Structure 1
Amino acid sequence: MAPDTRRRGAALEDAILHAAADELRESGYAGMTMDRVAHRAGTNKNAIYRRWPSRAALGVAAYRHLVAAELQVPDTGTLRGDALALLRAANATWSSPQGAVLRELLAAATDDPDLLALIRERAGDNSMDAAWLTFLERAVARNEAPPQAVHPRVASVPLTILRGEYALRGLPEVPDAVLVEIVDEIFLPLVRGRAPQP
């Protein structure tokens, strides 16, 4: 495909991220090259390097693009329902093709300090964290939770525990009963206990 010199800014970035996400899905991080992404996006490598200085940076950005494009934020009408729905979706994603991409990125990070640093840097800055904060804000509006519960650390608890379960079990999927325990025994009591301290 000939380079499209008319695209600029967000349109070009979106095309590059889409191409890189497709490469991750089809070839994995190991098979994703700047040449292949440039060809698929109809641009040149210089346009990519101006935005992402390394393959690692592009790989992490492409994974985030892949996940954000497919994230659907549930609205069940209750904090418990929302939390369970999103935790179940995250659990299903871990065993899906997107989860396989993330596992490959994490595996590659053991030999690539730059990639590991990027994954750590971006871990707390994504649409999934925003979804949990949205749930908490809705719960406050419905008087299900105190305003103090709307806190990034509180929002991060369910997924942090879920990731710990993956690491502990060595499996790409956690039993549903464990997800219910995470919500009912840890997350909801934490949220409800966030009253102001005297």
Structure 2
Amino acid sequence: MERKVASRRRGEELEQAILEAAFEEFREAGWTGFTMEGVAKRAGTSKPVLYRRWPGKVQILTACIASRLPRASAAPDTGSLRGDTIALLTLAHERMRMIGQSAMLGMLAEVSSDPEAHRQLLAGLVNELTGLLTKTVYARAIARGEITGEHLTERLTRLPIDLARNEFIIFGHISREALESMVDEVVLPALRARGANV
């Protein structure tokens, strides 16, 4: 394991270096071998610096994966709920491939024996992705008059992400046809059933 030379990094620069180190530590050591000490060595910093930001490895790994998710500014405005959803899921799929099916499966398998870690990890990631959908795709659709807030239940709000994540975890890849099928055969019909004009 290569140790980075310590520097006087602060703020966002230091945080990004730590998250990169956390990702490398996880890819090499897996969940069981992942340690805050290992991350600190890779990032060229100290454990107290890590613990000031994240209380443990669940939180730092959640932040690490969240940092690889698409940003709201990256989600293209296609002019329709259908197009925006497919575009955002395409971006999400690219990020899932960066993390890798094996890494995602390994993490889920490891935390499955720790209910609290499992809850924190999934809640953190689901909240990140659902927030991204809400701030971009659904906000635009509401502004265009395709849907209203009343059409969105909690489950419907996260449905596109749930479908994409499950497809990737099972198959390791999501084809364009599969993404379109998820939206056309599941997401849009579910919204229409609640009165949405999509």
- Relative to the length of structure 2, the TM-score reads 0.75
Per the alignment, residue 124 of structure 2 pairs with: 122
Q: Secondary structure at the match of 1:17?
A: helix
CA offsets, 1:1-56, max 9 Å, x none? 5544x555555434322321343345544554322321232211122123323223
Whole-Å Cα distance in 2 between the matches of residues 71 and 171 of structure 1?
Answer: 29
Whether the 8 Å contact between 1:166 and 1:173 is mirrored in structure 2 is yes
Report the count of equivalent residues.
191
Note the residue ranges of structure 2 that are not aligned, 5 or more in a row: none
Amino acid at match of 2:86: L
Q: Secondary structure at the match of 2:100?
A: helix
Q: Secondary structure at the match of 2:180?
A: helix
Query: Cα gap change, 1:192/1:141 in structure 2, threshold over 3 Å: closer, same or farther?
Result: farther
Instruction: Determine whether 1:81 maps to 2:76.
Output: no
Query: Cα gap change, 1:157/1:88 in structure 2, threshold over 3 Å: closer, same or farther?
Result: same
Per the alignment, residue 97 of structure 1 pairs with: 98
Per the alignment, residue 181 of structure 1 pairs with: 181
Larger mean Cα displacement after TM superposition, 25-34 or 183-192 = 25-34
Matched ranges for 1:44-193 at <5 A:
44-68=46-70, 72-94=74-96, 96-100=97-101, 101-126=103-128, 128-133=129-134, 134-149=136-151, 152-165=154-167, 170-193=170-193
Following superposition, the deviation at residue 68 of structure 1 comes to: 4.8
Whether the 8 Å contact between 1:18 and 1:65 is mirrored in structure 2 is no
Task: State the percentage of identical aligned residues.
Answer: 35
CA offsets, 1:79-105, max 9 Å, x none? 1111122223334544x2313332221
- Relative to the length of structure 1, the TM-score reads 0.75
Q: Give the alignment partner of residue 42 of structure 2, picking from 34, 40, 44.
A: 40
Whether the 8 Å contact between 2:71 and 2:132 is mirrored in structure 1 is no
Query: Cα gap change, 1:171/1:183 in structure 2, threshold over 3 Å: closer, same or farther?
Result: same
Whole-Å Cα distance in 2 between the matches of residues 68 and 107 of structure 1?
Answer: 25
Whether the 8 Å contact between 1:79 and 1:136 is mirrored in structure 2 is yes
Following superposition, the deviation at residue 176 of structure 1 comes to: 3.8
Larger mean Cα displacement after TM superposition, 40-49 or 146-155 = 146-155
TM-align CA RMSD = 3.2
